[in-house]
Amino acid sequence: MPYKFTFDISKTPRKFFTEIALASYQRGVHKVFLNTIKDSIDKFKIQEATGLNIQDALVLIQDLIDLQAINLMQRGKFLKTKKRALFLPHCSRKYMDGRCKAVFDANIPSYICAQCSPDCDVNKATKIAKKKGYDVYILPGGSCVPKILKSHRYEGVVGVACGEEVKMSLDLLSSMNVTGQSVPLLKNGCSNTVFNIETLVKTL
Ligand code: SF4
Ligand code: SF4
């Protein structure tokens, strides 16, 4: 399920994400936590940059912090996993129309990237992850995740998606004893979405 709002924080300074990472350590101290989020939203002019109202901005930033905190908590366990998969969102393909030469195979289920564009982030991420030994899936939606996890016994999964989609898959992963790490989208909207390749490389 996508967010009910669209956002683009892909041009936000890196320092903002450093603050997000720091805030994730502070989780549990609710008042400090909420104040920290509001301070970050003000300092980095997130509302002006995204056009979000304060409520939606809070939801977005709180999700980023929560997911980062889960990444930190799960990191040690994830690093011990051997059989891993990367789930990429189809919305980050360079093209969403016939110019994308990927073919969807419903039996897997996944798009198979035909590598038509060297500057396509999905193509780049696929190559990097495969070199690191990951199985890679390019998914049209989170509903594909259960089918893949039931037919393969992955120990670790890295998922790139918007925060809402990631949160929906976390319970499933934990119920199947799969350790997850996530890379949230920095621009949503279900087409031409953006994630940070460097963050993905570090996470893999
Ligand atoms: S590089 Fe792959 S995913 Fe990207 S547009 Fe081309 S076929 Fe589609
Ligand atoms: S932005 Fe991408 S990951 Fe999020 S709901 Fe839309 S298609 Fe799925």
Kindly report, residue by residue over 33-52, the tens digit of the pLDDT. 677 788 888 988 889 888 89
pLDDT of the residue at 97: 96
pLDDT value at 83 more than 90? yes
- Would you say the CB of residue 166 lies under 6 angstroms from ligand 2? no
Counting ligands in written order, which one lies closest to the CA of residue 95? 1
Alpha-carbon distance of 48 to 106, in angstroms, equals: 41
- Would you say the CB of residue 188 lies under 6 angstroms from ligand 2? yes
pLDDT tens column, 156-171: 999 999 988 998 898 8
Alpha-carbon distance of 147 to 67, in angstroms, equals: 23
pLDDT tens column, 97-136: 999 999 999 999 999 999 999 999 999 999 999 999 999 9
pLDDT of the residue at 187: 94
Look up the pTM and report it.
0.93
pLDDT of the residue at 28: 56
- Kindly list the strands in the beta sheet with 103-105, ordered across the sheet, starting from the edge strand earlier in the chain: 103-105, 110-112, 135-139, 84-89, 156-161, 179-184
pLDDT of the residue at 2: 79
Taking CA atoms only, the protein residue closest to ligand 1 atom 2 is 113
